[in-house]
Amino acid sequence: MNFFVNASMQAQKSGIEHAQLKRFELFNANGEASRIVIRDWDPNLHLNTRAAGIPDRQLISMFDYFQDAEQVEDHPIRLDDLDLGVLNTHTQPEPENSRTLIVAATGQLVARVNLLPDMQTVRSTELFDGYNNLYLVEHYDSRGFVSLQQWYTPDNKIGTEIWLTPAGKPVLESFNRDDVRGNRQKSGWRLTDRDRTIWEFDTIEELTKHFLDDLNRDFWSLEKPNVFVLDRSHLAEWGLLYLDQPAYTVMHMHNAQTGNAQDPFDHVLNNNYEFALNALDRYDAVVSATHKQTRDIVRRFKPRAKPFTIPVGVVPNRLLNAERTPVAQRQFGKIVAFARIAHEKHLDDLVRAVAIVHKGFPQVTLDLYGYPDPSDNYAARRAIEEVVKAAHLEDVVTLKGYTNDIDQVENSAMMFGVTSRMEGFNLAVMEAIAHGLIAFSYDVNYGPNEIVEDGVNGNVVPFNDYEAMAAAMLKVLRDPALAQQYSTGAYDSAARYSEQNVWTAWQKLLQDADAQWPVKLAANRYLTQPDEEGVR
């Protein structure tokens, strides 16, 4: 079995989630079994995964796994379904807060019921004692059962958290205590397994390892190894290295390996990968999305882990074979960017470039698609707004928010801009060239400076030089023949990321896993298959 390990699957996805979904679709299309593995608890997980095309049978959430809730029929709980054990209550709706108060005949607050926008479907209940103290919050899984209970201490802090099966049986607990600074921290976990064995863990990392060991046993085969692809290293970078039984483990790089992406040998490593990079020899494989990053990782770390270059994006055949839109039929001067509004995307520089271009071509506009990063009180969005205001671009630059309607937007736009400080691949620019957009990018590691081929499908300009980007855009706007040449080059260059090409790259890794398996079995002396009870 192939496991793709991630933290969550939100409605608004980052590049890592989009990359994982592309891989999942590719494996399914080629008949290679896989599972999306989610570590963190999320009551709306199944809403989001189903919307993303992941059926419940191909999803394994750590909390679902322990809660015996991997496949549950949907019976969402409505307000009228609640029985709070108090007679003669009445409701006081608060639609402005998406909740309803449950009040006793005496006027005593019994509960606050938090609801979905329909003001009927229950998200959670907050229960109060006779002294108006909050003592319990019950969180409902979107499928319609109490998934998590949070019990409060007299000082109004979460003391114990309990995860329940759909039948209401407690199976997993976490305990919270104040540290020496008075900050509430998790002090331990207790798991009651399916066979009623009780396990205790100090950290969620230990619990995660136990979960991964269970998965490895559940899907064990003497013929083929389980393949674990770690998409977010902090989730299991320790657990995968110390599995009880062998498997083929893959460290997947989704971003630069150093804090300064422009310097592959900077002594400060990217803190998201620091542990994994220092333990790289213990993995079986390391995957980078670009040839340049693979070369840099090999040169610096000289890992025993076998290096593979596999693009994280796939251009589907339907897009490669779609009718091409000539530049003359596109909105002249329409520039778009698809990216989180975040510090590392540096989109305020793209706005600065557009300000220069707009002076020469007043028709030019910029649409920014992506959700804003809330860090530092939405500093990245505020930086954009400040440049817009200073350059009087209120009617030129539009923050469009998050969208999935990429085809319609990119089939009518003309150009695409990337001004990132660091990247791991950039699915957005790959999708842009597949739609024939002329791409302009900083010479930033890694991805854009490989996907964008200077003079072929756009231009790569010096890092952090928005004036050079503006000059490149102006050159294209002044020369219709050059614009069409770049657009045609964009369509043509997208074939590098075809389904067949990317699948061929993954096949090489899977073949290596199979080739290594007899050696791993012999080294670990696993000559008989483990207990198959509970095998999926």
Domain termination site, one of 204, 229, 263? 204
Does residue 5 register a pLDDT over 60? yes
- pLDDT > 90: percent of the chain: 89
Q: Which of 39, 47, 30 is nearest to 4 (CA)?
A: 39
**pLDDT bucket at 182, cuts 50 / 70 / 90:** confident
Q: Is 455 exposed, middle or buried (0-12, 13-18, 19+ CB in 10 A)?
A: exposed
| 454-472 mean pLDDT | 97
Q: Which of 514, 484, 479, 452 is nearest to 221 (CA)?
A: 514
Taking only the tens place, the pLDDT of each residue in 73-121 is 999 999 999 999 999 999 999 999 999 999 999 999 999 999 998 899 9
H or E stretch at 176: strand 170-178
| 349-359 mean pLDDT | 98
Using CA atoms, how far apart are residues 380 and 385, in angstroms rounded to an integer?
Answer: 9
DSSP string, 452-518: S-BTTTEEEE-TT-HHHHHHHHHHHHH-HHHHHHHHHHHHHHGGGGBHHHHHHHHHHHHHHHHHHHH
Does residue 332 register a pLDDT over 50? yes
H or E stretch at 127: strand 122-128
Task: Identify whether 514 is part of a domain.
Answer: no
Domain shared by 423 and 460, yes or no:
yes
Taking only the tens place, the pLDDT of each residue in 213-260 is 999 999 999 999 999 999 999 999 999 999 999 999 999 999 999 999
Give the C-alpha distances (Å, rounded to integers) separating 56 from 24, 31, 277, 520: 14, 18, 33, 32
Domain shared by 470 and 386, yes or no:
yes
CA angle 155, 43, 92 (to 5 degrees): 65
Q: Are 460 and 275 in contact (CB under 8 A)?
A: no
Domain termination site, one of 279, 309, 339? 309
Using CA atoms, how far apart are residues 280 and 303, in angstroms rounded to an integer?
Answer: 6
Residues 6+ apart with CB under 8 A from 356: 466, 467, 470, 474
Domain shared by 213 and 134, yes or no:
no
Domain shared by 398 and 437, yes or no:
yes
| 154-182 mean pLDDT | 94
Looking at the 3D structure of the chain, how many domains does it have? Answer: 3
Domain shared by 187 and 211, yes or no:
no
pLDDT for 536? 36
Q: What are phi and psi of 43, to 5 degrees?
A: -65, -20
CA angle 234, 239, 240 (to 5 degrees): 95
Q: Which residue has the tokens 């040449």?
A: 485
Domain shared by 184 and 252, yes or no:
no
**Average per-residue pLDDT in the chain?**
94
Domain shared by 373 and 445, yes or no:
yes
Does residue 534 register a pLDDT over 50? no
Domain termination site, one of 253, 277, 309? 309
Domain shared by 146 and 241, yes or no:
no
Task: Identify whether 48 is part of a domain.
Answer: yes
Task: Identify whether 444 is part of a domain.
Answer: yes
Task: Identify whether 512 is part of a domain.
Answer: no
pLDDT for 405? 83
Does residue 334 register a pLDDT over 50? yes
pLDDT for 21? 96
Task: Identify whether 510 is part of a domain.
Answer: no
Does residue 524 register a pLDDT over 90? no
What SS3 class is residue 430? Answer: helix
Domain shared by 210 and 199, yes or no:
no
| 339-345 mean pLDDT | 93
Task: Identify whether 32 is part of a domain.
Answer: yes
Domain that holds residue 16: 2-72+205-309
| 293-312 mean pLDDT | 96
Domain shared by 341 and 282, yes or no:
no
- Kindly give the interhelix angle for 427-434 and 480-493, rounded to the nearest 10 degrees: 110
Does residue 360 register a pLDDT over 80? yes
Alpha helix ranges (H) inside 161-203:
none
How big is the chain by its Cα radius of gyration, in Å? 26
| 316-326 mean pLDDT | 95
Domain shared by 363 and 460, yes or no:
yes
DSSP string, 196-211: S-EEEESSHHHHHHHH
**pLDDT bucket at 525, cuts 50 / 70 / 90:** low
Q: Are 250 and 518 in contact (CB under 8 A)?
A: no
Does residue 48 register a pLDDT over 90? yes
Task: Identify whether 161 is part of a domain.
Answer: yes
pLDDT for 15? 85
pLDDT for 474? 98
Does residue 282 register a pLDDT over 90? yes
CA angle 489, 491, 492 (to 5 degrees): 65
- pLDDT > 70: percent of the chain: 98
Task: Identify whether 199 is part of a domain.
Answer: yes
Domain shared by 61 and 85, yes or no:
no
| 114-133 mean pLDDT | 94
CATH number for position 346: 3.40.50.2000
Task: Specify the pTM.
Answer: 0.89
Q: Are 418 and 430 in contact (CB under 8 A)?
A: no
CATH number for position 123: 3.90.930
